[in-house]
Chains A and B, each alone.
Chain A
Amino acid sequence: SAVISQKPSRDICQRGTSLTIQCQVDSQVTMMFWYRQQPGQSLTLIATANQGSEATYESGFVIDKFPISRPNLTFSTLTVSNMSPEDSSIYLCSASGIPGQTNEKLFFGSGTQLSVL
Chain B
Amino acid sequence: GESVGLHLPTLSVQEGDNSIINCAYSNSASDYFIWYKQESGKGPQFIIDIRSNMDKRQGQRVTVLLNKTVKHLSLQIAATQPGDSAVYFCAENSPGGGFKTIFGAGTRLFVKA
Contacts and interface: CB of A to CB of B under 8 A. Distances in A.
Interface in B56-113: 89, 91, 93, 98-106
A88 interface: no
A66 interface: no
B21 interface: no
B100 A48 contact: yes
B25 to A, nearest CB: 13
B45 interface: yes
Contacts of A105: 34, 46, 49
Q: How large is the interface on A (under 10, 10 to 19, 20 to 34, 35 or more residues)?
A: 20 to 34
A116 to B, nearest CB: 19
A111 B41 CA distance: 8
A94 interface: yes
A111 B103 contact: no
Contacts of A45: 100-102
A43 B38 CA distance: 11
B34 A42 contact: no
Nearest to A58: B100
B98 A43 contact: no
A82 interface: no
Contacts of B99: 30-31, 96-97, 103-104
Interface of A: 4, 30-31, 33, 35, 41-45, 48, 56, 59, 92, 94, 96-97, 102-111
Given A41-B105, A110-B41, 7 more contacts: A42-B103, A42-B104, A94-B101, A97-B99, A105-B46, A106-B34, A108-B45
Interface of B: 1, 32, 34, 36, 41-46, 49, 89, 91, 93, 98-106
